[in-house]
Structure 1
C-alpha cells in the first residue's frame, strides 16, 4: 500500500481490524466506520474506549429497552444510533416507527421526517432523537440524521486518487471492503469491482454467479447504506414501486442497488409480477426509466462445474426478455476459497459510499469505438458501453482514462456480456443459438503509467474536531 498516498484521505481513514472488534458486531460496517472516523480518529486508545462505551449506551442494538423508557419519561431527550423503520398505521392514519431495542414498542414519526428521508420505509441507519410526549403517552421521534460524511468533497477524493497507480487504487478499494488483495487473481478482483459498478452508475441490472456459500460475494447492505438486500418475494412485490395507499415511495426511488439473493427463491404470489419486473429491468437496460436503481440478481450454484446452468426461477428462464434485459453475467473466481480479511488502514466505508453517490451523479463520456467488435448488435453494444463506463468510473473517477485502461476494462465488460449470452443459450437455445467463439486477440501491452504529482509532505498531526 502506498501509505504516503493515504495521508491525502487522512480524515477518512480507519483501521479495518478495529471496525470488526466484538463491541461493534451488531452494527453494519459502514456505521461502525463512521463512528470510528468521527470519534476515534487514528485509533487513539482512550477515545476508542469512550466510543465503545457510547456504543454500548446509545446504539439501539445494545441499549436496554427499560433504560430508554426510564430516561425518556424523566423528560430527558435521548439521541440513539440505530436503524429506524417506519410504516403507515392504517387504523390511526399515522406513521409508526420501530427501533430494534424497543422491541414491539412503537414510536410516533412525523410525516415530514419520512418525506425528507423516504428510505426510512425500508429501514435506515442514523442518529435518532427521541422524546416522551405525555399527551400521547408515547415516544416520539423528533429528529433523524442519516449516517453520512459532513462536508465530504468529490474534488478532494479525485485529487487523492492521483497519487495511486491503477493497481494500487484497485487494491485500496478492496482493502476498504475488508478484503486483502494480496492473494487474489485479476479475475477475482474484477468480480468484486463488478459488484461495485452499480453504485457509481445507475440502471445496471446484473447477474452474479457464485457457489452455495457465496464465495466472493459482497454483503453490499452491510457495506453501503444505498444498497438494500431483499430476502422475501412478498417484500419486493409490496415495495418495488410507489404505493400510495401505504405511502411507500418505492425501492427503485430510494436505493442504488436492490439485491435479490438467491434469485431462485423469488417466486411471486402475484402470478404476473415477474412481467412488471422484466419491464423494469428492460427499461433500466435501455436507460429509459425515471429511477436508476440497479437490481443485483444473485445465483448460488451447487455444481462446481463452471458450465453448469444457473438455478433460475421458471419466470426468468422461460422469458427471453429476461436475458435481453440484464446487462451482463459476472462469475466468482474464488472457487470456495475463503478470502483473507484486511486489517490495516483504508478508506472508511461511509466516506466511500458518499463518494460513490456523488460519482453516480457525474456524467462521464468515454470513447470505446475502437475496442468494440463489429459483430455486436445494438443491444449488446449499449450494455457493454454502460458496464465499461461504470468500471472505468470506479478505477479512474476523474475521467482521465489511459487508452490501455479503456481497452482492458472494455474487454472485461465484453466477457460479462458474452457469459450472459452463453447462459441464455443453455436455457433458451431457440432464442439464443450458440455462436462460434471469436479468435482471441493478443492482449495489448499497457502504457507506462504517468508520473504522479509531486508528493506533498504529510501535514502536522492535529486533533480533528468531532
Structure 2
C-alpha cells in the first residue's frame, strides 16, 4: 500500500476496495463491475490482507451459489421448485400487465417471466420498468393451474446499489485530499492507474463522468478503437445505460405513443450510444428531430403532450481517418451518419473529447490499488445532479462577451460538472478554476470549429477568459489548432479575418503575458519584448483565435537565443531538443545537466539525444568539450543506471566529448537545470523527461526517428541569462 492507499482507507473507511479484486472474482460471470464491487465492498472494504482474502472467497462463494448462468438456468429453476426458496443474482425488468392490473417481472438469465411484483417495490425502484436492473432476489415456487400466472413467487428483491448516501460526509472527507490526490483517487475508482496517464488524459476521463452529475449534458467522443470510450457507460454506474450499435427507436428512447410509456430518457441519468459513428448507418430522421429538440430544450413531444426529462446523452464511436486527414480534408465529425452530420445537432453538443489523444488500453494501465467502490462514487455523482454549480464559472473569471449563448452553455455545463467532481465543497482556488475553465472552453471550441467548417451561417467568437474585474484576455486554442497552425482553418466556411498569409503569421505569433499564473496553453514570453520594440496589445480586447501559438513554429524561428518562458500542453507535437536548446548550445564548451530523474533506460536515452544535439552545435577546437550530469540514485536493486551512463560515456568519448556524471545520494536534489558556459541557466520543470511513452525499440517507429512527431507531457522551460 502506498500513502494514498492508506489515506483513502483511513478517510473513506468502508467505501473503498482494491480494484484488482474484480478480476479475481469475476471469472466467467457476465456481471457488470458495479455489481461485483458492491459485493466486494460488503466483504473486502479493508486493508487487512487476510480479511481481503477471506472476503474474496466469500464473494466467489456468493457468485457460485447465487449468480444465474444462462446455461444452468434449468437446473436453478428445478432447485427453486424443490427447495423452500432460493436466492439468486440476476438482471430483472418489470412491465405493467394492464389486463391483470399487475406488475410482472422477467428474470433475464433465469428465463422466468410474469412473476408478480408489488407496486411498492416498483415505486421504490422505477428503473426496473426500463431495460432492467441487477438485483439480489429471493424466489419461491408455488404451483397453480392458471395459464397466465407464473408459479414463481418473488419474496424479496434488492437492487444492487447503495440504499443511502451522506453528501455532507462525502464533502468533508474530500477536504482531506489535495486536488492532485483527489484526481488520482477518481481515476483509480474508474479502474485505471493514474501513473500511466497525463494530466490532460485524466481530465478527459473525468469529463465522461460529467454525464452522471450534470443534467442534460451532451457529450461526443470519437477516436480510434480500443481506447475505452464506452467503459464508463457500460460498467461504471447503475444509473446509466449503453445502447450498443448506436441505434434506437423513438418509442424506446422517448415515449411509446400506443402505451404512453416514457422511454429511456425518463429513467436513466445517462443514455450513451455506442458505435455511434458510421456513414453507412441510416437512422430515421424523426428520431434525430426529436433528439435535437430534447438536447436543446430538455423536452420532447410525440403527440399532444410535451414531456420533460433530465437524462444526459453521450455519443461514442470510432473514427475512420486520422486527425491529419480530418483537419486537411474533412472535419472532426465527418464519421457521423449523414442525418447527424447536421449543424443543428452538432451545435447542441456541449463538449467534444478527442479520442485520438487517448492511449489504447493496455494491461498495465489497469489499477491494482484502492479506489472507491464504483457504486459509492456513482451515488455521489447522482446526489450532485440537482445541484447548481454554474456560478463557479463567474467566481474568479469572466468569459468573452462575444461567446454565443450555446457556446456559453456548453462551457458552463462542462465547468459545473467538473467542479462537482473535483470540488464538491466549492473550495477551488483561482488557479484551479482557471485550468477547468480553459479545458471547458477547449472542448466546446472543438465543436464550434467543426460548425464553422460545415456551415457559413455561424459567426466566429473569441474563446477567451480573463480575471473578474478586468485584465488581459487569455485566448484558448484546441490542440489540433496548435499542431496544424497553417491548415486548421483552411477549410472554414466562415471567412477568416485577414489573408491566409496573415493567418499563418498570426498562428506563429505568441500570446500576451498571462496575468493569472502559469500559462497552460503553448506560449513563449520573451522578457525583452519592449527592447525589441513590440507594441503591447490592448488589455480589454480578446486576441483573435489565430493568436494561439504553435510552439514548434516559435521555437524554430529563434535566430538568437533569448531569455523567456515556454509552456507546452500535454499531447502537443512539434518539439525536439534541437528546437528547445540548439541555439543556446552554439559554440558551447561546458554544459551541466542537473536532473534527479536520469535512472531508467528511456531517461538515459534522453541524455543521449541531448548529447547528439549538443555535438551538432559544439565548436570542436583546442578547448575541451565537457558535459557533466548530476542525478539521483535509482532506488531499485536491479537498476542499470550506472551501466547506461557508462555506455553513453564510452560512446561519445572517441568523438571528443568528455561526458561525466555524479550520483547525488543526499536526497536533497530536486531542481532541474541545464547550465551552459556560465551564460545560460535553463530551468526545466520536468527535466529532460518531456516525452510521452513511445516504442523506441521499433526501428520503423516515426516517433523514434523524428522527435517532432512525439506527443509531449505538459512542461515549462524558463531561459535565464547569467553572467
The answer on 1:372 being equivalent to 2:399 is yes
User: Which residue, 517, 527, 540 being the options, matches 1:445?
Assistant: 517
Matches within 5 A, 1:332-351: 332=355, 333-336=357-360, 338=362, 340-351=365-376
Cα 1:314–1:23 shift into 2, 3 Å: closer
Aligned-residue Cα RMSD (Å) equals 3.0
Structure 1 residues not aligned, in runs of 5+ = 448-466
Corresponding residue for residue 125 of structure 1: 134
User: Which residue, 35, 38, 53 being the options, matches 2:39?
Assistant: 35
Following the alignment from structure 1 to structure 2, what is the Cα–Cα distance between the partners of residues 122 and 343?
Answer: 32
Corresponding residue for residue 312 of structure 1: 336
Matches within 5 A, 1:14-413: 14-24=17-27, 25-42=29-46, 43-61=51-69, 64-74=72-82, 76-87=84-95, 95-103=103-111, 105-110=112-117, 112=119, 113-120=121-128, 121-135=130-144, 136-215=149-228, 217-232=230-245, 235-243=248-256, 245-246=258-259, 248-264=261-277, 270-284=284-298, 290-305=308-323, 308=326, 309=331, 310=333, 311-317=335-341, 319-332=342-355, 333-336=357-360, 338=362, 340-369=365-394, 370-413=397-440
Following the alignment from structure 2 to structure 1, what is the Cα–Cα distance between the partners of residues 238 and 513?
Answer: 41
Q: How much has 1:304 moved relative to structure 2?
A: 2.2
Following the alignment from structure 1 to structure 2, what is the Cα–Cα distance between the partners of residues 231 and 107?
Answer: 27
Q: How much has 1:275 moved relative to structure 2?
A: 0.7
For each residue in 1:347-395, what CA deviation from the matched residue of structure 2 results, as whole angstroms up to 9, or x when unmatched? Answer: 1101111111111123335343434123212221122112111111110
For each residue in 1:427-450, what CA deviation from the matched residue of structure 2 results, as whole angstroms up to 9, or x when unmatched? Answer: 334556445699756564369xxx
Check conservation: 1:60, 1:100, Cα contact below 8 A. Answer: no
Q: What TM-score comes out, normalization by structure 1 length?
A: 0.86
Cα 1:37–1:297 shift into 2, 3 Å: same
Q: How much has 1:114 moved relative to structure 2?
A: 3.5
For each residue in 1:385-433, what CA deviation from the matched residue of structure 2 results, as whole angstroms up to 9, or x when unmatched? Answer: 1211111111001111211111110111100111001222333345564
Check conservation: 1:198, 1:294, Cα contact below 8 A. Answer: yes
Q: How much has 1:118 moved relative to structure 2?
A: 2.5
Check conservation: 1:40, 1:47, Cα contact below 8 A. Answer: yes
Following the alignment from structure 1 to structure 2, what is the Cα–Cα distance between the partners of residues 364 and 238?
Answer: 33
Corresponding residue for residue 457 of structure 1: none
For each residue in 1:323-351, what CA deviation from the matched residue of structure 2 results, as whole angstroms up to 9, or x when unmatched? Answer: 22111211122253637101111111011
Q: What TM-score comes out, normalization by structure 2 length?
A: 0.57
Corresponding residue for residue 489 of structure 2: none
Following the alignment from structure 1 to structure 2, what is the Cα–Cα distance between the partners of residues 388 and 140?
Answer: 48
Following the alignment from structure 1 to structure 2, what is the Cα–Cα distance between the partners of residues 377 and 137?
Answer: 58
Between structures 1 and 2, the one with greater helix share: 1
Check conservation: 2:25, 2:56, Cα contact below 8 A. Answer: no
Check conservation: 1:148, 1:350, Cα contact below 8 A. Answer: yes
Check conservation: 2:245, 2:276, Cα contact below 8 A. Answer: no
Check conservation: 1:56, 1:63, Cα contact below 8 A. Answer: no
Residue 179 of structure 1: SS of its match in structure 2? coil
Matches within 5 A, 1:414-425: 414-425=441-452
Following the alignment from structure 2 to structure 1, what is the Cα–Cα distance between the partners of residues 286 and 132?
Answer: 27
Cα 1:71–1:367 shift into 2, 3 Å: closer
